[in-house]
Amino acid sequence: MEDFVYNGNPARVVFGSGTVSRLPEEADRLNVKRLVLLSTPEQVQQATDIASHLGPRVVATYSKAQMHTPVEVTADAMQFISDHSADAVLSIGGGSTTGLGKAIAFRTDLPQIVVPTTYAGSEATPILGETEGGRKVTTSDPRILPEVIVYDVDLTLTLPVALSVTSGVNAVAHAVEALYAREANPIISLMAEQGISAIVRALPSIHANPADKNARAGALYGAWLCGVCLGSVGMALHHKLCHTLGGMFNLPHAQMHTAVLPHAVAYNAKAVPAAMARLRRAMGVDDGATGLFDLARRLGATMSLKDLGMPDGSIESALEQALSNAYWNPRELDRPELRQLLERAFRGDAPNPA
């Protein structure tokens, strides 16, 4: 066995069906009495219903969370938090809502209770990605890591099938890059393999029947494992490309991850044979990149960045920004090949054969 460093983040996770009824206990454990509820505009009703378990301890609702955590929204929310003398935030929703809660916690050190409703995995990481002036900047800090995650499978039943598929592949992206991370270690690789396997097995069942609670539980469990991977080791080319494209063109997060991942895997595959063997085993396929592309396409995902809103003629500027300040990657970054990668993803072509 090779030497390794394992860096685990503290986590309290409540997982199951109907677990939102345990929110009062969790608020008691943290000794918090003035929670501000966070949500997106689309989920405010669902979030308010769930938060009613906490009664008057929820003093106000801020429902303007947005994708990619724009700093202007955070500034507005900070004023709201201060106006209501909040002593904690309760984030109910997907990664956008969790992101806003983390941005507030980073600035105030207020405790966070997170109730995730997608498979983004942000709740399990001490990482905050914020967008300012078309650039996404990530920060890692212990204040950003939520104090408790309450996973309630029932809440994911309303996640539309299309978003369930892409959000699941977004989670898989965290685990795939963890398998070949510079800090890869046996514990995180176990979680990564298990997380990929759980999600890849759940998605076809969710696609066939979105009300399949067993499949929903498998996907949510996998999403947590994949989130832990993201929070524990560094990410590489795939995440850099997505951070760049998300910041520059405000592309929908999970859908964009889904369109890029097969290509990033194909690019790195030759440099990381052991990680690819684990990916193949987790997915039960002959080739990881092709397997991911085929799965996503079969389940109806849009595989073209152009169709997701990336403007014509923008590949060169995206490439420029992705290569400036690039993340560590297991394979050297080759500009012409990366241009081809983006061109293929732009058109929605299958990944380059291994």
User: Residue 231: which residues within 8 A CB-CB, separation 6 or more?
Assistant: 9, 124, 125, 126, 127, 145
C-alpha span between 34 and 187 (Å, rounded): 38
**Which residue among 94, 146, 168, 247 contacts ligand NAD (CB under 6 A)?**
94
- Residue 19 contacts ligand NAD per CB under 6 A: no
- Residue 259 contacts ligand NAD per CB under 6 A: no
**Which residues are registered as beta bridge partners of 310?**
none
Whose CB is nearest to ligand NAD? 95
**Which residue among 129, 262, 288, 291 contacts ligand NAD (CB under 6 A)?**
129
- Residue 163 contacts ligand NAD per CB under 6 A: yes
Token look-up 């979030």 returns 47
Q: Are 118 and 98 in contact (CB under 8 A)?
A: no
CB of 354 to ligand NAD, least distance (A): 27
**Which residues are registered as beta bridge partners of 137?**
130
CB of 307 to ligand NAD, least distance (A): 18
The region of 84-92, 157-165, 264-272, 323-331 touching ligand NAD under the rule CB under 6 A is 157-165
Residues 53-82 that bind ligand NAD (CB under 6 A): 67-69
**Closer to ligand NAD at the Cβ: 230 or 276?**
230
Interface size with ligand NAD, residues (CB under 6 A): 31
Look at residues 338, 346, 318 and name the one whose alpha carbon lies nearest to residue 134: 318
H/E/C letters for each residue in 309-340?
CCCCCCHHHHHHHHHCCCCCCCCCCCHHHHHH
Q: Are 20 and 205 in contact (CB under 8 A)?
A: no
Provide the binding-site residues for ligand NAD, judged by CB under 6 A: 40, 42-43, 67-69, 93-97, 99, 117-118, 120-122, 125, 127-129, 155-156, 158-159, 163, 167, 170, 230, 253-254
